[in-house]
């Protein structure tokens, strides 16, 4: 493999770069670089808590100079650690107190209580012949939803329902408010749902899975933003904000057309999986007879 050549970062990663996956980190799950391999060897996701996770990450080099690339990464998990440090609460407690409870998301959390286990949906993977196969390991997270995790991840691991997920997405469409309860300012939501990726990065084809960054389709704070859908060749409205989860969940918020969409399939993403997110978008926008009004 050769010897890793290290260099001093041009500048410390910023919060903005952390929230846009341009801070220099990687995930250790999708790539095959020496840095990804180090994350696997150090078992960063097997850490007993977020402090141990951060301590391990501090011994691993950045993959690239901050601000020069877009790589989907542990940036969201690092944000979870920062939330704990700034708030003095565990990440699950903070999310419950400041997001789930105010929004009435009563079925959302980092684990499924015993009295709700009978409602916990099965997870499926796609077989070699496109058949659905039940995954008894829960996507490799066996047992992780039976009790509060000691290492909650900002980038994944929350269980929810379509109704709860809709309430969160509707709050974004409402510019931070739902049912008279405000959890974000309109200016904060505007920042989240605005593109923060420079033109030179948009032209370099960065992406993951079906998401490929391109002119007109970039990244806001912790979500994709179609800031000029016509340029990107999309049918959704301007500034549509979206992202998808590995277990077959996705959402988008289209302020131009007053649309909130939530999709849940309990189906692990993989090369054999159909692209249901973009297929659902095509069906929705074909059905609009007076878009933008």
Residues of the chain with pLDDT under 70: 1-2, 136-144, 271-272, 292-293
Supply the pLDDT for residue 141. 57
- Is the separation of the CB atoms in 245 and 252 below 8 Å? no
- Is the separation of the CB atoms in 233 and 223 below 8 Å? no
How many whole angstroms separate alpha carbon 189 and alpha carbon 249? 21
Supply the pLDDT for residue 292. 65
- Is the separation of the CB atoms in 128 and 272 below 8 Å? yes
- Domain locations in the chain as residue ranges: 15-73, 193-287
- CB-based burial of residue 117 (10 Å sphere; 0-12 exposed, 13-18 middle, 19+ buried)? exposed
């Amino acid at each position: 493999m050769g010897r890793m050549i290290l260099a001093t970062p041009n500048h410390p990663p910023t919060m903005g770069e952390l929230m846009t996956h341009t801070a220099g980190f990687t995930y250790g799950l999708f790539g095959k670089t020496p840095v990804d391999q180090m994350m696997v060897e150090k078992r960063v996701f097997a850490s007993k808590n977020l402090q141990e996770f951060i301590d391990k990450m501090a011994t691993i080099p950045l993959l690239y100079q901050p601000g020069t690339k877009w790589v989907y990464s542990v940036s969201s998990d690092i944000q979870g650690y920062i939330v704990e440090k700034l708030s003095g609460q565990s990440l699950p407690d903070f999310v419950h107190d400041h997001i789930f409870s105010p929004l009435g998301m009563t079925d959302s959390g980092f684990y499924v209580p015993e009295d709700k286990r009978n409602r916990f949906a099965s997870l499926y993977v796609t077989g070699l012949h496109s058949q659905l196969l039940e995954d008894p390991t829960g996507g490799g997270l066996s047992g992780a939803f039976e009790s509060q995790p000691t290492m909650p991840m900002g980038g994944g691991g929350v269980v929810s329902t379509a109704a709860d997920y809709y309430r969160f997405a509707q709050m974004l469409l409402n510019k931070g408010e739902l049912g008279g309860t405000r959890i974000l300012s309109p200016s904060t939501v505007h920042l989240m749902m605005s593109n923060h990726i420079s033109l030179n990065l948009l032209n370099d084809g960065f992406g993951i899975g079906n998401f490929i960054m391109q002119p007109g389709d970039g990244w806001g704070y912790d979500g994709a933003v179609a800031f000029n859908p016509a340029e990107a060749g999309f049918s959704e409205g301007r500034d549509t904000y979206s992202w998808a989860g590995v277990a077959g969940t996705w959402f988008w918020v289209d302020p131009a057309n007053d649309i909130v969409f939530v999709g849940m399939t309990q189906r692990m993403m993989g090369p054999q999986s159909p692209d249901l997110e973009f297929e659902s978008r095509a069906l929705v926008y074909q059905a609009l007879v007076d878009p933008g009004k």
